C-alpha cells in the first residue's frame, strides 16, 4: 500500500480573499509564504463558506454538512448527536490527530472528545488575550482552564505583556470590543506565534509516533480585535488603502437589519479613514499569520516531512472591512464574507475555477486517508480537483445560510457567476446582477425587468431547500409566489 500523505489544515479566522496576495486582488497586503504554497501547488478561485459565522462554518469542516444539518446554527449551539466527525474518522483511519488554536466547533466537546489525540485549544468564543492583557477591554476568555496561551507566556518567561492604542467604535452601547490594538511585546509573545509553536509541537509528536498525521491549526486572526506587534502594526500605511467600491452604499434598498448592524458598530462617524486605520492593522495581522505559516513550513522541511504533507490554507469566512459600510460578518450575504481563500500544496499544481465549498474539507481529507464519510455529506471530495484529475466538478451555483448572530433572521443565498438571490424570510429579498453590479450595490429584486431572472433563482433556491431538508423550506414555499 502506498504511503498515505499527512494533512495540515490551516484555518484563519475571518480572512478576506483579497488579503492573500497570490490571488492578485490587492496590491498592498503581502502574504509571501502562502503565495509560495500556491506557487508550488494550486489554489481554488471560487471557494465559498457554507455560513459566514465562525462556529457554523467550523462545524461544517468537522462534519461535511450545511449548518442546518449539523445543528450549529450560531456560535453557541452544538452538533447533533450521532453526526460523524472528521477527527474521529481520521483517528479511526490510523492517523495521529492534533489540534492547535481556536476551537469553536462544539460548546460541549473539546478536540479530545472529537477524535484528536492532543492539542491545547481555545474553547468557547475564546479570545486567549482576554484577562491576560491588562489594558484590553475585550473580555471573552477561553472557557477551558488553564488558558494555554497564558501558560505559554509564563513558560517562555514573558512578563507584563500588554496592549495599547485600542480602537473602538463610538456607539456608547458597544464599548466592549476593540477593532484593533498594538501588542506591546515581541512577536514570540503573540497569540498567533503560540498557535504556530503549538502546531510545531504536534508535528514532533506525530513524528515520534511514526504515523501519518492530520493536524488542524487554527489562528484567531485576523478576526477583530487585530492585536499585532511591530513591525506588523506599522507595516501598512492606512492612507494607502483605497475606499472600497461599495462603501458608498446607503443601504436603503437592503433589509433594515443591515442599517442597524452598521449603526451598532459605531464606525460611521469615522468615515472611510476609520476603516483605513482598521484595515492597516488587519493587513498587518494577515502578514503576521503568513509569517507563522512560514515557521510551520520550515518545521516540516527540517523534519523531512514537507514533501509528504498536503497543506491546505483556508478561512472560515471573510470580513466586510468597510464594504457596504459594514465590519465583520452577520446577516448579510455579501461576497466579501462568503468568498474565501483556499490554497493547496502537495496535491496538484493547476489552479481550479470550480465552485467548491468549505464543508467539502471533510470528505476531501478523508479521501486523502483512503476512507469515505460514514454517512452522506453535503458535498464531495475535491481531491480530484486538487490533483488535476478533474477540471470541473459540475457545480453551477453556491448555496449559503445564516441563522443567528447578533439577531435571529433566517437567511438563504444562492449565487452563480451571473446573479445572486438572497432570501430574507421576514424582510425584503435581494437580487444582484453580478456582471453589471459586482459589488452588490443595486438590489433589483423588485425591478420588473428582472422578474424572469428572479423566478429562475427562486426555483434554484427551492431545489436546494428541498434537497438539503432545510427547515426554511416550509415558509419559503408558502410565500414564494408573493416574495
Domain residue spans of the chain? 6-387, 398-482
Contact 297, 311 (CB under 8 A): yes
| 402-415: average pLDDT | 96
What's residue 2's pLDDT?
63
Which residues neighbour 208 within 8 Å (Cβ) at sequence distance 6 or greater?
A: none
Length of the chain: 483
| 233-248: average pLDDT | 98
3-class SS letters over 94-162: CCEEEEEEECCCCCCCCHHHHCCCEEEEECCCCCCCCCCCCCCCCCCCCCCCCCHHHHHHHHCCCCCCE
Which residues neighbour 480 within 8 Å (Cβ) at sequence distance 6 or greater?
A: 458, 462
416 to each of 233, 325, 365, how far by Cα in Å?
Answer: 37, 24, 26
Among 128, 130, 147, CA closest to 138: 130
154-169 per-position pLDDT tens digit: 999 999 999 999 999 9
Top-level class of domain 6-387: alpha beta
pLDDT at position 39 over 70: yes
| 387-410: average pLDDT | 96
Instruction: Kindly give the pairing relationship between strand 407-415 and strand 96-102.
Output: unpaired
pLDDT averaged over the chain? 97
Same topology, domains 6-387 and 398-482? Answer is: no
pLDDT at position 231 over 80: yes
What's residue 119's pLDDT?
94
Instruction: Give percent above pLDDT 70 in the chain.
Output: 100
| 258-267: average pLDDT | 97
57-108 per-position pLDDT tens digit: 999 999 999 999 999 999 999 999 999 999 999 999 999 999 999 999 999 9
pLDDT at position 3 over 90: no
Rounded to the nearest 5 degrees, what angle is found at the Cα of 216, between the Cα atoms of 387 and 71? Answer: 100
Top-level class of domain 398-482: alpha beta
> What band does 1 get if pLDDT is binned at 50, 70 and 90?
very low
| 361-372: average pLDDT | 98
Nine-digit cell string for 195 = 498557535
pLDDT at position 289 over 80: yes
| 317-333: average pLDDT | 97
pLDDT at position 350 over 90: yes
What's residue 276's pLDDT?
98
Residue 404 DSSP class: E
Among 116, 80, 110, 92, CA closest to 366: 92
Amino acid at each position: 500500500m502506498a504511503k498515505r500523505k499527512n494533512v495540515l489544515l490551516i484555518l484563519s479566522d475571518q480572512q478576506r480573499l483579497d488579503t492573500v496576495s497570490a490571488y492578485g486582488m490587492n496590491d498592498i497586503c503581502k502574504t509571501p509564504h502562502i503565495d509560495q504554497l500556491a506557487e508550488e501547488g494550486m489554489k481554488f478561485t471560487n471557494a465559498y463558506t457554507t455560513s459566514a459565522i465562525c462556529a457554523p462554518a467550523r462545524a461544517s469542516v468537522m462534519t461535511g454538512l450545511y449548518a442546518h444539518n449539523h445543528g450549529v446554527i450560531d456560535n453557541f449551539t452544538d452538533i447533533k448527536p450521532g453526526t460523524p466527525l472528521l477527527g474521529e474518522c481520521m483517528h479511526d483511519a490510523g492517523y495521529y490527530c492534533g489540534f492547535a488554536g481556536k476551537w469553536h466547533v462544539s460548546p460541549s466537546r473539546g478536540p479530545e472528545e472529537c477524535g484528536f489525540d492532543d492539542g491545547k485549544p481555545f474553547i468557547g468564543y475564546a479570545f486567549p488575550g482576554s484577562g491576560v492583557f491588562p489594558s484590553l477591554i475585550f473580555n471573552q476568555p477561553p472557557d477551558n482552564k488553564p488558558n494555554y496561551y497564558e501558560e505559554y507566556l509564563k513558560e517562555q518567561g514573558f512578563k507584563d505583556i500588554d496592549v495599547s492604542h485600542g480602537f473602538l467604535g463610538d456607539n456608547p452601547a458597544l464599548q466592549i470590543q476593540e477593532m484593533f490594538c498594538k501588542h506591546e511585546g515581541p512577536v514570540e509573545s503573540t497569540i498567533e506565534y503560540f498557535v504556530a509553536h503549538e502546531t510545531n509541537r504536534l508535528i514532533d509528536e506525530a513524528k515520534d509516533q511514526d504515523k501519518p498525521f492530520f493536524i488542524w491549526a487554527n489562528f484567531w486572526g485576523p478576526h477583530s480585535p487585530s492585536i499585532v506587534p511591530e513591525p506588523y502594526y506599522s507595516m501598512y500605511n492606512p492612507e494607502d488603502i483605497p475606499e472600497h467600491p461599495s462603501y458608498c452604499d446607503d443601504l436603503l434598498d437592503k433589509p433594515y437589519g443591515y442599517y442597524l448592524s452598521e449603526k451598532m458598530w459605531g464606525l460611521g462617524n469615522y468615515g472611510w479613514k476609520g476603516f483605513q486605520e482598521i484595515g492597516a492593522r488587519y493587513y498587518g495581522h494577515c502578514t503576521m499569520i503568513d509569517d507563522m505559516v512560514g515557521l510551520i513550513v520550515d518545521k516540516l522541511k527540517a523534519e523531512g516531512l514537507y514533501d509528504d504533507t498536503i497543506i491546505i490554507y483556508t478561512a472560515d469566512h471573510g470580513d466586510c472591512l468597510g464594504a457596504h459600510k459594514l465590519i465583520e460578518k452577520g446577516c448579510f450575504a455579501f461576497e466579501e464574507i462568503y468568498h474565501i481563500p483556499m490554497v493547496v500544496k502537495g496535491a496538484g499544481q493547476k489552479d481550479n475555477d470550480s465552485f467548491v465549498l468549505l464543508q467539502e474539507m471533510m470528505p476531501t481529507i478523508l479521501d486523502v486517508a483512503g476512507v469515505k464519510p460514514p454517512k452522506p455529506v453535503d458535498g464531495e471530495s475535491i481531491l480530484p480537483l486538487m490533483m488535476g484529475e478533474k477540471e470541473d466538478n459540475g457545480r453551477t451555483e453556491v448555496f449559503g445560510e445564516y441563522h443567528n448572530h447578533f439577531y435571529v433572521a433566517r437567511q438563504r443565498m444562492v449565487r452563480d457567476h451571473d446573479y445572486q438571490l438572497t432570501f430574507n424570510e421576514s424582510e425584503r429579498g435581494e437580487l444582484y446582477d453580478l456582471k453589471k453590479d459586482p459589488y452588490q450595490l443595486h438590489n433589483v429584486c423588485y425591478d420588473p425587468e428582472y422578474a424572469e431572472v428572479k423566478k429562475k433563482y427562486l426555483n434554484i433556491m427551492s431545489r436546494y431547500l428541498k434537497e438539503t431538508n432545510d427547515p426554511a423550506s416550509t415558509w419559503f414555499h408558502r410565500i414564494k409566489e408573493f416574495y
